[in-house]
Amino acid sequence: MLNKSRKKLAVLISGRGSNMEAILEATKQPEYPAEIAVVISDNAEAKGLETAKVENIAALAFPRPDYSSKRDHEDAIIAAIYEADADFIILAGYMRILTSDFVEAFDGKLINIHPSLLPEFKGLDTHERAISEGATEHGCTVHFVNAEMDGGKIISQMALQILPEDDAKTLAARVLKLEHKLYPAVVSLLASQDIKLDNGELCVSDAVTLKSDKTVLIET
Ligand code: GRF
């Protein structure tokens, strides 16, 4: 039974779904201001769909080959988001690039998590690239989504030092732990309307502390 006073989330995944799971765990706290109304995947085999089903959350698959065009595919997903009456759309490892029509339909309501300190290392293989390019710091970013891939307004980041012994796997695992702290915290602030996007700018309430780079401080 969905609680009416909490905001509803549509979480879009393509695979493992560990960030979705971290948000799901957070929603179990009674004071958390949001709950997951639906989990949507472009991959019927996504592990995260099973996780959602076990928790009695609507879990829907929209395999791309079932649709004749990208537009038809996105339209079906948009219809499911409306059907779920979602307030916010949370991209959590959703591996398709969204059209500008999709992004504009949910302006200010659509966020993504990316495993790098944006604007560094947009796109794939971020951990490998951070190591091979000799970066000393790495981390994750939650941002509003716009039509430019990994290019929307940054909300918050968590960083760590790359260790001499790190390889892409160990680094990915350490960054993922940060992701699981960062994403539920940012979703909470979004749902409680302590942060919002206003004319492309990040606006925050008095409850939110900004860092010197004007991104949101999340206490670890
Ligand atoms: C995460 O690293 C996320 O930052 C990126 O895709 C990965 C998804 O992992 N966008 P999971 O499916 O949440 O476990």
Per-residue pLDDT of the chain (220 residues; tens, 9 = 90+): 566 699 999 999 999 999 999 999 999 999 999 999 999 999 999 999 999 999 999 999 999 999 999 999 999 999 999 999 999 999 999 999 999 999 999 999 999 999 999 999 999 999 999 999 999 999 999 999 999 999 999 999 999 999 999 999 999 999 999 999 999 999 999 999 999 999 999 999 999 999 999 999 998 7
Active-site residue, 138 included: no
Q: pLDDT value at position 220?
A: 78
Atom of ligand 1 nearest to the CA of 113: 4
**Distance from the alpha carbon of residue 151 to the mean position of ligand 1, in angstroms:** 17
Q: Is the CB of 184 under 6 A from ligand 1?
A: no
Q: Is the CB of 113 under 6 A from ligand 1?
A: yes
**Distance from the alpha carbon of residue 91 to the mean position of ligand 1, in angstroms:** 9
Q: pLDDT value at position 30?
A: 95
Ordered DSSP codes for the chain: ---TTSEEEEEEESS--HHHHHHHHHHTSTT-SEEEEEEEES-TT-HHHHHHHHTT-EEEE--GGGSSSHHHHHHHHHHHHHHTT-SEEEESS--SPPPHHHHHHTTTTEEEEESS-TTSS-SS-HHHHHHHTT-SEEEEEEEE--SSTT-SPEEEEEEEEPPTT--HHHHHHHHHHHHHHHHHHHHHHHHTTSEEEETTEEEE-TT--B-TTSSBP---
Residue from 73, 114, 127, 138 carrying the catalytic annotation? 114
Q: pLDDT value at position 48?
A: 97
